[in-house]
Each structure stands twice: as structure tokens, then as C-alpha cells.
Amino acid sequence: MINLKIPDDIRKDIPLTSKLIYFDNAATSLTPKPVIDAMVDYYLNYRANIHRGVHKLSVKATEEYEEGREVVAKFIGAKPSEIIFVRNTSEGLNWIPYGITLSEGDKIVVSEVEHHSNLIIWMRLKRKGVKIEFIKEKDGIIDLEDAKEKIDESTKVVTITYVSNVLGTIQPVKELSKIAHSVGAYFVVDAAQAVGHLPVDVGYINADFLAFSGHKGVMGPTGIGVLYIREDIQSEFEPPFIGGGTIEEVSYDSFKLTKGPERYEAGTPDIGGVIGLKAAVKYVSKIGTEKIEKYEQKLAEITIKGLKDIGATVYGTEDTSKRVGVVSFNIEGYTPHEIAAYLDENNIAVRSGHHCCMAFMKKLGINGTVRASYHCYNTKEELERMLEVLSEL
């Protein structure tokens, strides 16, 4: 039995939970009404651009936007000056290779379980003579001893997904950070599947860069994300885009960029998105990420046992203390898409395919999986219904 109860009013805040069983949270989570209400309030009542206006609407919009930066910073243990608003995790990660100096012969060390967004951006640097090495994994968790062998004095970047989007496995990011910093390498974290599903503290894990999206774990809007850049390395990081709002002084023969987060946010940002993100972070904070993590782990435990009972193949460690609420599986005789389509016919939404981890799927020797991924509004009864439908296969 699940001995942790998530408040019933969360499901009331998300009308879609009464219309279907939604197990595709690793792709995008459902959005509570208070988040939508906050965005509607901006568009209807103080719609204006930020930072440079002195009229009341602009001042109000600026205050709400910058409060969003403060709320997000507190949520991940950062300073407001370290929070850069971007479109999503992919965009945030793409910024990093362009902002740091990398030369021929430098080495990037990544894991075998990476999402394409934290893999091909580094592989593209091979054209410049940058080397790529991979940390081996077992049951979806990286081998730290192998990491120590791969990470040497030529390593400039070590990067890892905090939580595998395929298996839900939690990586030993704090330990890997120590190894990376021991050779003076930057430590980059893809936290798309971690933030909102478990407690994340950038100081504790000692990240140099960390990126996440608003629409996944924190149940916010799409099109808004966060790139954390540690304050003391911002002087080493060139903004990929410059323009309106990023400058301190301009003449016809020179310009000087401003400091802080404004340096990295060229042009008009997604103001409504930041306001929605702020409301979403407050919403998840009220529930508590520690509680969400334990709740999801219990859901994963029930799922894994139930799937194995019906003869499914489940991927990744079965130790649910080392994973969040993401479970990938296959059933012999059926393709992942066939299973997902069958579940959809029964009003259950899951994801099927390679989950933007094609290289890892090839390593596993499979063409994809069915992925059920949870959040705090999913229930034991919904899991039992999915297992009942799958048993009919």
C-alpha cells in the first residue's frame, strides 16, 4: 500500500485527471489551474514589457517577472543572479558549448544514458577536434570508477543527466561533480527529469551549469526553462545572443555588455511563461519535492512488481530508492507502439519509442520501450488499471 497521501485537491486543480489516465509526465506534465490563472492575470490585467518602462503596467510586470527569478533561485538553492530564463532544457544546454572556450584536443566526458539534447550538442564539437568519451552504466546508473578513469587533465567538461528520462534512474551527481572539479573541468547537469520530482540543490551538488524545463517536473507552461550558471564563472561564459536589454553602453565603435542575468536575456522574454513558472514552482514547493519523490518511488515499486508478474521486461535497477516515477518496459510479441496504442484505446496515455535516447537503446539492444512516467497527481488505482489492461495482452 502507498503510505504517503498526496492531497486530493491537486487532482481537482487538474481537470484532465478526471478524463483520462495520464502517464506521460516525462514528456510533459499536466498544468494546475492556479498556474494558468497566474498567466491569464498577466495577459488580462498588466500586460506590458519589462525593465525599461516607467508606467504602472511595466513596473508591475517587471516586479512579477523578477520575483519569478527569486522564486526559482530559492527552489534550487541558487542566487537570483544565477538564474537565466531560456525556452527549455535543450536550449539551455545548447548555450553552453557556445559560451565556453574549447580547443582541439580538449575532452568532453558524458554518460551512456544521455538524452539527445545532452549528447549531440557535444558530439558536434568533434568537428573542431574535441574528443568525446562515455562513462559506462549498469542498470541505468553510471559507474563512478569508470568515470575516474575517463576524466583526466585534458577533460574540460563533464556532463550528466541527473535522472534518466528512459529509466528514471538517479545518477550520483554529487560524487561525479567532485571528480570533475578535481581536474578543473566544468560540471554540467541536465536536470529536466529531476527538478520537481526530487529535491535539487545546485550548491549541494556543486554544479557549474544546470538546465531544466518548466513544463515537466514543476508542472508549468511550455516554452519556458531555466539555465543556472554559477555566479563566479559567469565572467568566463559568453552569451550566445546579445541585443536589447543585454548592454550597458553602446557607441558607433564599441559596446559593453551588462552584468547579471540581463546579460544573457536578449530581447523580450516569455514574460507570461516566467509568471506561470513562478506559480508552478510555488505550487510544487507547497506539496514538497521530498514527498513527491517518495510518492513516485512507491508508484514505481508497484509498477515494477506488477509488470514482472505479467511477464514484462523492465529496464533499469529495481531498487526504487535509486529512481523516480519513470518505468520503461516491453512485452514480448508486441512492439512498444502497439502496446501504447492499445493502452490509448483504454484511455491510458503512455509514451513509446526511443525517447530521444537512440544511442542508449542501441546499447540495450532494443528498438524502444513503453514508458510510464508519473507525477504526484497519479494514483495507485490508475496503476492497477494499467496493469489490468496490460494483462489482457
Question: What amino acid is encoded at 206 in this protein?
Answer: N
Task: Provide the CA 310 distance to its chain's centre, in angstroms.
Answer: 31
List strand residue ranges (DSSP E) for the chain, in order.
Answer: 21-22, 83-86, 107-111, 131-135, 137-138, 141-142, 155-161, 186-190, 209-213, 225-229, 247-250, 255-257, 313-314, 326-330, 348-349, 351-353, 369-373
Cell numbers found for residue 162:
541527473
Please classify residue 235 by burial: count the beta carbons closer than 10 Å to its beta carbon, then call 0-12 exposed, 13-18 middle and 19+ buried: exposed
- The three-class DSSP label of residue 332 is coil
Burial 171-207 (b: 16+ CB within 10 A, else e): bbbeebbebbeeeebbbbbbbbbbbbbbebebeebbb
Q: Which three cell numbers stand for residue 339?
A: 502496446
- Annotated catalytic residue, options 30, 157, 356, 357: 356
Rg, Å, the chain Cα set: 22
Reply yes or no on whether 356 is catalytic: yes
Q: Which residues pair with 212 in a beta bridge?
A: 226
Q: Which amino acid is at 104?
A: E
Orientation angle between helical segments 271-287 and 289-309, nearest 10 degrees: 80
Evaluate whether 295 touches 4 at the Cβ level (below 8 Å).
yes
Q: Which residues belong to the active site?
A: 356
